[in-house]
Each structure stands twice: as structure tokens, then as C-alpha cells.
């Protein structure tokens, strides 16, 4: 089969070339990849700064949509020809990938493979961090930073669909799209003071949950923007990893700061999350209420161009890579 291989050269160039095809374990299926999608983590992994967890494929790619072409002998409930999508610990930038059967989601008939491939990473990350880690309840207010990111565009829709007023930050040109996705109010990350903004919108209380991929440069403002008992979930470090923590504020206002990564979690934990997504979120996808926002679709042979575009910070939503049969 062919897969994207990262070159040893200075540019870490991406080449579509022959590699050995993976073989499914007894509890896994083999998927013929029809589409995958680009994540920030891929940019880091390509440069040797984000190693795959032990046992995962070295090939880039954290999500996939395609057809089941082989089932391991312990797999039940799935058959050759099923249209599936899945969260992966790696291996998506390839014609074939193996995946534990417990992590498969059935692609509804109204979704193309490109649309389905754009969902898993954003959906799992948003749901896990907002609803499992931060326990966001209906009626509570949420703030999503980098609201126009692949993760952010799904997180906004999820909050709106599950009953939370949701605010978002992004650069100015992307804000109107975030309102269309269900944000109650949006803030230009370069010009507006999101702390004053959310306080005005919550009668001075602040928001209950913040989903934050920015980290250090937002830490102090995030704490001020939280309601008493508020939860800050740090999922990325786009704005740096080191900051001063005003513990007095954390203590007196009973704040909780949660750090969270998805990729390194066990298959059992991801399987549990898959069942919860199937029950609570997949009906929204099947009914068309929640869709991945796709900025652009590339062929996998153009993966380099897709990485450059994601790195430019100019995208809204996901970049998808289609894979030839
Ligand atoms: N912990 C986890 O389990 C997990 C899982 C998935 C992703 N993530 C993290 O979530 C983040 C989003 O991932 P993604 O793939 O969805 O990203 P993406 O689609 O590439 O979007 C990233 C966006 O963030 C904004 N941004 C960039 N640098 C920033 C900065 N210094 N301050 C504020 N905003 C900045 C830019 O939009 P604007 O210019 O419009 O603001 C950029 O387009 C990444 O940090 C990723 O590592 C974490």
C-alpha cells in the first residue's frame, strides 16, 4: 500500500510511497481509507516533536473514514463493506489502517467520507473535555478559544446543541462564521477583551467552563473570566507553556484547572467515550444538526500544501485529505 512517509531531510518532506500494509489484530478491523484530516499534532509529529504513543503506527494521521475490508476473528457487529469513521492513535495518512473495532462509528448515509473524516478528532476532543472532564451542564456558559479551529468549530456546535450559551475567540475575519455555528457572542482575539466581554454577557458572573488550546498567554485572563467554581480545560499550548499561576484566585473562587490529552488514553477509555458519543452526539450528526466545518479538501498527495495552509492560521475548520482507492 501507499502512505505518507516523512523524509529525513531538513524540510521533513512528505512523500506518498510504498510501505508494508498493516495486519489487523483479532479485535481490530482493516479499513480502506477514503479520507483523513489534518491536525495540529501532525505538524508537530512531522518535525519529531510529538511521538506516537507506544504501539501506535509511525504514520501520521489521527482520524479516518473509509470501508471495512477485513475483520479480526474476535470482531462482531461489523462486516466487510461497512462505511466507518474512527479516531486513531496514528496511521491515517495511508491507503489502509487498522483500528480496534470498539472505536468504530458508523458513517450515516447523509455524510460523505470527506465529511466523516473531519469529525472524530474534533468530536472526541470537544466532548471529552467539555462534558467528561469539565462536566459542562445544560444552562452553564462556555467559552471556546481558537473557536475557528477544527476543534473549536465542533465545540461551539456541541455546546449550542446541548443547551449552553457559548462564546468564542478567534481572529476577526473568522468571527461571522462562528456566530452561524451557534456562538452567542464572539471576540476578536487581537482587539477585544474577552474577559470584559463574557462578564458583561453573564451579569458579572463569568463563564462556567473554558476550553483552551492557547495556554500560557491566556492563563491569567482565563481565571478572571471564570465564574465561581469554574473549570478551565487546557488542551493545547499555542500561546506558550509557562505562566504565573495566581493561586489566591484559584483558591478563593474554587476554580479547577484541568490538563487533558486524548491521544495517549487507553483503548478502553476511548471505547467508553465512543459509546457515549454514539448515544449522545451521533444522532445530532445523523440528523445534520452537527457537521464538520471543512475549509478545503486536498488529495493526500498534496499533504505538504495542506500542512502549510494549517500552519498559516488562515483556516476555519478542517482540512481533509482524500485518498485514492
Ligand atoms: N489535548 C488534546 O487532546 C487535543 C486534541 C486535539 C487538538 N488539540 C489542540 O487543540 C488546538 C487546535 O487544534 P486544531 O487541529 O483544531 O487547530 P487548527 O484547526 O489548526 O486551528 C488553530 C487556530 O488557533 C488559532 N491560534 C493559533 N495560534 C494562536 C495563539 N497563539 N493564540 C490564540 N489563537 C491561536 C488560529 O486561529 P485564529 O487566528 O482565528 O484565532 C489557528 O487557525 C491545538 O493546539 C491542538 O494541539 C488538543
Query: Tens-digit pLDDT profile for the chain (325 aa)?
Result: 999 999 999 999 999 999 999 999 999 999 999 999 999 999 999 999 999 999 999 999 999 999 999 999 999 999 999 999 999 999 999 999 999 999 999 999 999 999 999 999 999 999 999 999 999 999 999 999 999 999 999 999 999 999 999 999 999 999 999 999 999 999 999 998 999 999 999 999 999 999 999 999 999 999 999 999 999 999 999 999 999 999 999 999 999 999 999 999 999 999 999 999 999 999 999 999 999 999 999 999 999 999 999 999 999 999 999 998 8
Indicate the top mutation candidate among 87, 89, 151, 183 to test ligand 1's pocket, ranked by most ligand atoms within 8 A of CB.
151
Q: How far does the centroid of ligand 1 lie from the alpha carbon of residue 304, in Å? A: 19
Residue entry with cell 464572539:
186
What is the residue with the minimal CA distance to atom 19 of ligand 1? 149
Question: For residue 235, which atom of ligand 1 is closest to its CA?
Answer: 1
Distance between Cα 144 and ligand 1 center (Å): 11
Best mutation site among 40, 41, 44 for ligand 1, i.e. most ligand atoms within 8 A of its Cβ? 40
- Please give the Cα distance from 69 to 106 (Å, whole number): 14
pLDDT for the residue numbered 41 = 96
Give residue 169 CA to ligand 1 midpoint distance, Å.
11
* Distance of alpha carbon 79 from alpha carbon 82, whole angstroms: 6
Q: All domains of the chain, ordered by start, with CATH?
A: 2-119+263-322 (3.90.180.10), 122-259 (3.40.50.720)
Ligand 1 is surrounded, with C-beta below 6 A, by 39-41, 121, 125, 146, 148-151, 170-171, 174, 189, 213-214, 235-236, 238-239, 260-262, 310, 313, 315
Q: Which atom of ligand 1 is nearest to the CA of 238?
A: 31
Q: How far is CA 159 from CA 135, 165, 168, 223, 318, in A?
A: 12, 7, 11, 20, 19
Bridge partners (DSSP) listed for residue 61: none
Query: Which residue's CA is the closest to the ligand 1 atom numbered 9?
Result: 236
Per-residue pLDDT at 128: 98
Q: CB under 8 Å to 277, separation ≥6 — which residues?
A: 105, 123, 124, 127
**Shortest-distance Cα residue to atom 11 of ligand 1:** 213
**According to the model, what pLDDT value does residue 325 have?**
82
Q: From ligand 1's centre to the CA of 246, what distance in Å?
A: 25
Query: How far is residue 174 CA from its own chain's centroid?
Result: 18
Instruction: Provide the total of helices (H) and of strands (E) in the chain, helices listed first.
Output: 11, 15
3-state SS, residue 191:
coil
Report the relative pairing of strands 63-71 and 28-37 from DSSP bridges: antiparallel
State which ligand 1 atom lies nearest to the alpha carbon of 151: 16
**How far is it between the farthest Cα atoms of the chain?**
59
d(CA 140, CA 197): 16
**List of residues 6+ apart from 244 with CB closer than 8 A:** 219, 220
238 Cα to the center of ligand 1, angstroms: 6
Contacts of residue 241, defined as CB under 8 A and 6 or more positions apart, other chains included, come to 215, 216
Supply the residue whose CA is at minimum distance from atom 42 of ligand 1: 313
CA–CA distance, 138 with 198 (Å, rounded to integer): 18
Q: How far is the CA of 301 from the centre of ligand 1 (A)?
A: 24
Amino acid at each position: 500500500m501507499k502512505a505518507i512517509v516523512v523524509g529525513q531531510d531538513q524540510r521533513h518532506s512528505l512523500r506518498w510511497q510504498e510501505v508494508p500494509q498493516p495486519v489487523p489484530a483479532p479485535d481490530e478491523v482493516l479499513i480502506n481509507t477514503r479520507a483523513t484530516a489534518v491536525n495540529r499534532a501532525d505538524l508537530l509529529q512531522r518535525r519529531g516533536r510529538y511521538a506516537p504513543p507506544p504501539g501506535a503506527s509511525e504514520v501520521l494521521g489521527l482520524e479516518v473514514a473509509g470501508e471495512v475490508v477485513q475483520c479480526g476473528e474476535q470482531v462482531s457487529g461489523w462486516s466487510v463493506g461497512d462505511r466507518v469513521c474512527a479516531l486513531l492513535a496514528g496511521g491515517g495518512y495511508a491507503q489502509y489502517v487498522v483500528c480496534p473495532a470498539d472505536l468504530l462509528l458508523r458513517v450515516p448515509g447523509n455524510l460523505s467520507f470527506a465529511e466523516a473524516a473531519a469529525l472524530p478528532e474534533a468530536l472526541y476532543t470537544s466532548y471529552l473535555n467539555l462534558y467528561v472532564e469539565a462536566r459542562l451542564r445544560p444552562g452553564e456558559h462556555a467559552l471556546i478559544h481558537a473557536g475557528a479551529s477544527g476543534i473549536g468549530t465542533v465545540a461551539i456546535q456541541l455546546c449550542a446543541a446541548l443547551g449552553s450559551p457559548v462564546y468564542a475567540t478567534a481572529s476577526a475575519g473568522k468571527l461571522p462564521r462562528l456566530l452561524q455555528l451557534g456562538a452567542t457572542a464572539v471576540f476578536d482575539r487581537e482587539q477585544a477583551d474577552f474577559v470584559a466581554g463574557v462578564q458583561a454577557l453573564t451579569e458579572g458572573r463569568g463563564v462556567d467552563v473554558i476550553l483552551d488550546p492557547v495556554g500560557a498567554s491566556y492563563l491569567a485572563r482565563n481565571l478572571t473570566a471564570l465564574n465561581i467554581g469554574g473549570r478551565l480545560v487546557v488542551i493545547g499550548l499555542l500561546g506558550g507553556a509557562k505562566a504565573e499561576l495566581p493561586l489566591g484566585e484559584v483558591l478563593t473562587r474554587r476554580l479547577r484547572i484541568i490538563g487533558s490529552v486524548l491521544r495517549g488514553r487507553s483503548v478502553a477509555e476511548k471505547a467508553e467515550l465512543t459509546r457515549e458519543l454514539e448515544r449522545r452526539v451521533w444522532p445530532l450528526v445523523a440528523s445534520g444538526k452537527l457537521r464538520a466545518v471543512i475549509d478545503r479538501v486536498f488529495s493526500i498527495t498534496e499533504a505538504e500544501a495542506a500542512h502549510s495552509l494549517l500552519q498559516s492560521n488562515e483556516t476555519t475548520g478542517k482540512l481533509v485529505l482524500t485518498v485514492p482507492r
